[in-house]
Amino acid sequence: MSHLFPNYARWPLAIVRGEGNYVWDEQGNKYLDFVSGIAVTSLGHAPAAVKEKLKQQLDQLWHSSNLFQHPLQEQLADKLAEISGLDRVLFCNSGAEANEAAIKLARRYAQKVLNQDRYEIITFTGSFHGRTLATLTATGQEKVKDGFAPLPEGFVTVPFQDIEALREAISSKTCAVMLELVQGEGGVNPADPEWVAQVAELCREHDLLLMIDEVQTGIGRTGSWFAFQQYGIEPDVVTVAKGLGSGFPVGAILAKEKTNEAFGPGSHGTTFGGNPLAMAAGLGTLEEIETHNLLSRVQELGDYFKEHLNRLVAQSSLVKSVRGKGLLLGLQLTIPVQEVLETTREKGVLFLPAGPDVLRILPPFTTNRSEIQHAVDVLSDVLEELEDKQKQHHSA
Ligand SMILES: *Cc1c(COP(=O)(O)O)cnc(C)c1O
């Protein structure tokens, strides 16, 4: 009997080794990994340059705490400020923690800096912001809230891409709007740029913090450092985590200078946040993306992938559409995604779901055209098999 809680619906597969764009299971079977630990191992598994930085840090110092000065936190904060255009950084250990910090920052900014009694945060249907009590309340999906009542006050969810609904929801209590520019867990839904511009305008009008959750989209996944850079907006707060540490747990909140006072001494903190090993992993990851020009690689390979996936839309009645940006891609299926995932897995390629009928594809930035071609061929075969099976079923 397993002593683990059954909270994860795990696949019947134990991955025990990873190298580059491939992983191996206990039986020694090899898989092309287009899951990347859910948008985490963006440089592939055990990337040499990051490994080298981590090894050096292992010899130097593992942990000191935030009681002390932190040269590596300074370095990574400088780098994140440079690539985002934002000013202030606070490190934590996960995406949920980064969003939790954003929620706290928004409330405290309104109450302590603006001296106003505002606390409400507006979020959107289909969003995912994490599993802590506050972030699951912010999340626009009922399934993550089931059985956790009472939920914290101060959150309002309005329909995604409905500007009138947002306009109506803004009240004298609203302090911020939080959104994903490409909803990841919610089905790989890129937001319409016009709607996003209107959201930004409403935030400006009502003096609300515009907070972009880039936990999945950030650090190059969509082909720019951050997805917001493709939308021509200037967010007040951006959260990141998944792709920042190449697999080492690390998250961060980035914010505009005007929020600085809101997080004065004693306002917020975490024991592990900004741990030296996490900082080394983050610095190594950003350096690798820069050195190897991976942002333009993500754009180019993303376009290439999309072209080939569009072929599947034309070919198969089981595929409705292709969505996404860069190397965050989704296939809208007309059937449950589970069987497709199981069959591609048997053929040595790993994908993941985003909801019941969307197949999500999160390749490492280090993938190449021949791996993409192979993945699409496998998908094509699997879809054809399933289509034949369906036809037989119907004619029987
Ligand atoms: C994964 C994710 C989170 C939560 O991150 P954790 O590290 O699992 O806490 C929050 N927001 C988005 C957009 C995510 O994709």
Q: How far, in Å, is the centroid of ligand 1 from the Cα of 361? A: 16
Question: Which one of 235, 260, 291 terminates a domain?
Answer: 291
**Predicted pLDDT of residue 396:** 67
The domain spanning residue 97 has which CATH number? 3.40.640.10
The verdict on 268 and 365 lying in the same domain is no
Q: CA angle, corner 73, sides to 68 and 78, nearest 5?
A: 135
Q: Same domain, yes or no, for 143 and 260?
A: yes
- Residues near 150 by Cβ (< 8 Å), separated by ≥ 6? none
- Residue 93: burial class (beta carbons within 10 Å; 0-12, 13-18, 19+): buried
Examine the domain organization and report whether 309 and 285 are in the same domain: no
Does residue 392 have a pLDDT over 90? no
**Ligand 1 pocket residue status of 180, Cβ below 6 Å:** yes
Please tell me whether residues 298 and 259 are part of one structural domain: no
Q: Are residues 154 and 272 in the same domain?
A: yes
Q: Residue whose CA is closest, atom 8 of ligand 1?
A: 95
Mutate to test the pocket of ligand 1, among 35, 180, 216 (most ligand atoms within 8 A of CB): 216
Q: Is 100 in the pocket of ligand 1 (CB under 6 A)?
A: no
Give phi and psi for 236, each to the nearest 5: -85, -30
In short, whether 241's Cβ falls inside 6 Å of ligand 1 is yes
How remote is the C-alpha of 239 from its chain's centroid? 9
- How far apart are the CA of 387 and the centre of ligand 1, in A? 34
pLDDT of 263 > 80? The answer is yes
184 lines ligand 1 (CB under 6 A): yes
For the ranges 91-105, 120-134, 380-394, which has the lowest average pLDDT? 380-394
- pTM score: 0.98
The reply to whether 4 falls in a domain is no
Q: Confidence class of residue 105 from pLDDT cuts 50, 70 and 90?
A: very high
**Are residues 280 and 298 part of one domain?**
no
What is the chain's mean pLDDT, rounded? Answer: 97
pLDDT of residue 395: 78
What's the CA gap between 357 and 360, in Å, rounded? 10
Range of the domain at 189: 48-291
When pLDDT is averaged across residues 171-197 and rounded to a whole number, the result is: 98
* 240 CA → ligand 1 middle, Å: 9
> 10 Å Cβ neighbour count for 1?
3
How many domains are contained in the chain? 2
